[in-house]
Structure 1
Amino acid sequence: METTFPEAFPSALRSQSAIAVSALKLSSDYVSDQFSVNVLGEILRIPCRVLPSTRPEFVGVNVQQRQIALCMLTRSADGFARQAALREVLHINEPWSIPFVIALIGEYVVEIIDDVYAALPDLEKANPAFYKLTCDRVVSYWDLYYRRQFPRSDYVGFKLLRQLDAYA
């Protein structure tokens, strides 16, 4: 599926995101799928996974471009790269960065979900359809990977969803 990576960000950031994505040297051939979110009335198309062709270096990019690049790295095929990027993205707290964080709640790497849970007081919830999809993914990954390891009430994904619901 072909996508223009800068479409993962609001139109006001498209020129900045094009520079940031270019600095990452992402392979456009690797995008397996994308999901859509509504950010301040604008539909963004965020890739489910990306594959940086090299270890990213943020030489020659400004702070906002670096933040955009880190958001894209939360979609990396490498779980360690996703977690490292997330730890910095958690401090951005811009409307356009939040979907990148929320998407990680519905994934299978429990250590990443733990990081989101620890940062919860700083996050906001938006996009009801996207949130429902994320909830469905939490259930699915818990059932597939963690059902034997954690009772539903102890699984960090469900704890996080309960907290988000309490903040709403």
Structure 2
Amino acid sequence: MHLPRDPSNVDHVLAAAFPPRLAGDVQSVLAVMPDARLAPMESFEVDVQGETVAIPSRIYNEEPGADFECSLTGTQQVILHCLYSRHSDGRVRQRRLEQIVASGEPWVAPFVLQLAGEYVLEILDVIGRGLVGLAVPNSAQRRLYGDFIARNPAFFARTERRVVSYWSCYHRWKYTVFGTYPGCTLMEAFRAAASEHAGVRWPRHTPPPLVGMAGGLA
């Protein structure tokens, strides 16, 4: 569902994707973004360290010129990359994700995790390469994503189900065993981070990794 095309409403929608303390930086970012050809699609809400943010499912703004981007501070550039990681063009999403995937900012985590539940294999590969710390017990990345998932169990469960759905619909012919699918590998790593954070085994909403084409064990 697209939201109304009132420019002031669009700015409000995009600003709501970040904690209020970043409001000034977000406004600087919005000032360099071209007007959208369509309004953002409906947002999803998550908890970031006790603050609720609402991130648009898709945005349709053209990318700003390089000179405008270079005028932004480091934090503002991360905000810009986060917003364009929600772009309707998968190539734009991938390119922007590459700039933020290894960020240690808690407010970046939902943008990365949302992309882990999408269907573009190249994007899943970017996340896997950028979050190698998820495989390291008590690493900064494990703590970051473990905390985020623990605060947003329904969001993570929905992401897991999307991974299974996209595997089954688009990629099962290539990855006949679910455990070989990059999305499965990512979900296992995120689940391990949540388990470590919570101190208990985190619930699974995907098939066991060895489920194959016929739905049984490979």
TM-score greater than 0.5 by the shorter chain:
yes
TM-score by length of 2: 0.72
How much has 1:63 moved relative to structure 2?
1.1
Query: Where do 5+ consecutive residues of structure 1 fail to align?
Result: none
Q: Secondary structure at the match of 1:99?
A: helix
Partner residue of 2:174 out of 115, 133, 149: 149
Could you say what the CA RMSD is over the residues aligned between the two structures, in angstroms?
1.7
* Residues 61 and 55 of structure 1: CA distance in aligned 2, closer, same or farther (over 3 Å): closer
Match 1:164 to one of 168, 190, 194: 190
**Secondary structure of residue in 2 paired with 1:96:** helix
Residue 86 (structure 2) aligns with: 75
Cα pair 2:160 2:187 within 8 Å, conserved:
yes
Structure 1 length-normalised TM: 0.92
Letter in structure 2 aligned against 1:163 = A
Contact 1:26 1:50 in 2 (8 A): no
Question: Does the 8 Å CA contact 1:31/1:47 hold for their aligned counterparts?
Answer: yes
- Residue segments in structure 2 that go unaligned for 5+ positions in a row: 5-9, 134-140, 195-218
Distance 1:113 1:54 in 2: 22
Deviation per CA, 1:123-153: give whole Å up to 9, x if none: 3231222111111111111111111111211
Structure 1 consecutive aligned stretches of length 4 or more whose deviation exceeds 4 Å? none
Letter in 1 for 2:27: A
**Counterpart check, 1:91 vs 2:102:** yes
Larger radius of gyration: 2
Deviations 1:4-46 (A, max 9, x none): 2110000000121121123122517331221111001111010
**Count of equivalent residues:** 168
One-letter amino acid matched to 1:17: V
What SS does the aligned partner of 2:54 have? strand
Match of 1:131 in 2: 156
Provide the C-alpha distance between the structure 1 equivalents of 2:173 and 2:34, rounded to a whole number of angstroms.
39
Partner of 1:53: 62
Conservation of the 8 A alpha-carbon contact between 1:114 and 1:156: yes
